[in-house]
Structure 1
Amino acid sequence: MGESSNRPFWREKSLEAMSAAEWESLCDGCGRCCLNKLEDWDTGEIAWTNLACQLLDGQSCRCSDYENRWATVPDCVQLDPTMVRELSWLPATCGYRLVAEGRDLYWWHHLVSGDPETVHQAGISARGRTVSELGKELEEYEEHIVDWPGENPLEDAA
């Protein structure tokens, strides 16, 4: 009889092999991917803003209407394994990105810690650092450029 592995699913399965529930659980709830980004058309460089999607709950850092988000935000990006591997703007700490790169999840990820609050306690999330995009004109976005969403505070502190 073969032994079943006690390793967590994200260490055993590719992104493509995950069930829908496993896939959804990889989201750490940081909210950083729900921040508006500006792309330089010439260089492709991404500039992060602290302007949050109108559906981002600033406290939980989760979508306030996840199931129906496209009705309000038609250009909301639906991540899939191909997109995870192609998008340059996914945060360095993103669970999807880490698994796609063959890396493990950080200690503060709820699948490791067992607590959805550790992402906030570790200073990874957007909690308390955003402004709603509502009422902002595109011309104002440059006034909201910030560095922290693209950084990994755990590696930057080392």
Structure 2
Amino acid sequence: MSDPINRSGLAPRFWEKKKLGQMTPQEWEALCDGCGKCCLNKLEDEETGEVALTRVACRLFDDTTCRCAQYSIRHQFVPECIVLKPSNIDEHAYWMPETCAYRRLYEGRGLPDWHPLLTGTPDSVHDAGVSMQHRTVAEFEVSEDDWEDHIIEEPLGDTR
């Protein structure tokens, strides 16, 4: 599979030398591991604030590629889709998956061994069993009242 994220020309291990707010847009985008978990619908417990991932994916999610089918214009279809950026990660990191590079770096943890920036291949996230490739149901196929039936345990796969 070709990698839609441009990781060429980046300084080696830039994420260890820069804070999230110091990264260029290309470096920021390169942190995405392509797991697709951020495109899953989540349930938040109003009392505890605990967030549960479901395997119910956004209507724009392609579970073969683990990418948004309309990434550049997604807000036309899903206005509530959050654009994660250095300026808002402090308010959104809690709902990102445990394995997410943005969350891990925000929390002071490093990248997992299977991350494409370390392996050099976008398929390493799938090979480690961490991605949602071929594991989702489309949101239009499941009533929102039934999302609880589709909660998944997090993290999936190898978290090293």
Q: 1:95 aligns with which of 101, 114, 120?
A: 101
Q: Deviations over 1:3-54 (max 9, x none)?
A: xxx7521111111110001100100000011100111222222222110111
Q: Do residues 64 (structure 1) and 60 (structure 2) align?
A: no
Q: Deviations over 1:54-103 (max 9, x none)?
A: 11110111111110000011110110224333331212211111222232
Q: 1:136 aligns with which of 126, 138, 142?
A: 142
Aligned 8 A contact 1:69 1:76 in 2: yes
Secondary structure at 2:95's aligned position in 1? coil
Q: Deviations over 1:94-130 (max 9, x none)?
A: 1111222232212211111110000000001011111
**What is the aligned length?**
149
Cα distance change, pair 134–31 in 1 and its aligned pair in 2 (3 A): same
Which stretches of structure 1, 4 residues or more, deviate above 4 A after TM superposition? none
Report the equivalent of 2:82.
Answer: 77
Cα distance in 2 between the residues matched to 1:125 and 1:102:
22
Query: How high is the TM-score relative to the length of structure 2?
Result: 0.85
Cα distance in 1 between the residues matched to 2:20 and 2:151:
31
**Radius of gyration: which is bigger?**
1
Query: How high is the TM-score relative to the length of structure 1?
Result: 0.86
Unaligned residue ranges in structure 1 (runs of 5+): 1-5
Aligned 8 A contact 1:85 1:97 in 2: no
Within-5 A mapping of 1:1-158: 7-86=12-91, 87-147=93-153, 150-151=154-155, 153-155=157-159
Cα distance in 1 between the residues matched to 2:115 and 2:128:
10
Cα distance in 2 between the residues matched to 1:152 and 1:120:
11
Secondary structure at 1:50's aligned position in 2? strand
Cα distance in 2 between the residues matched to 1:102 and 1:48:
22
Report the equivalent of 2:7.
Answer: none
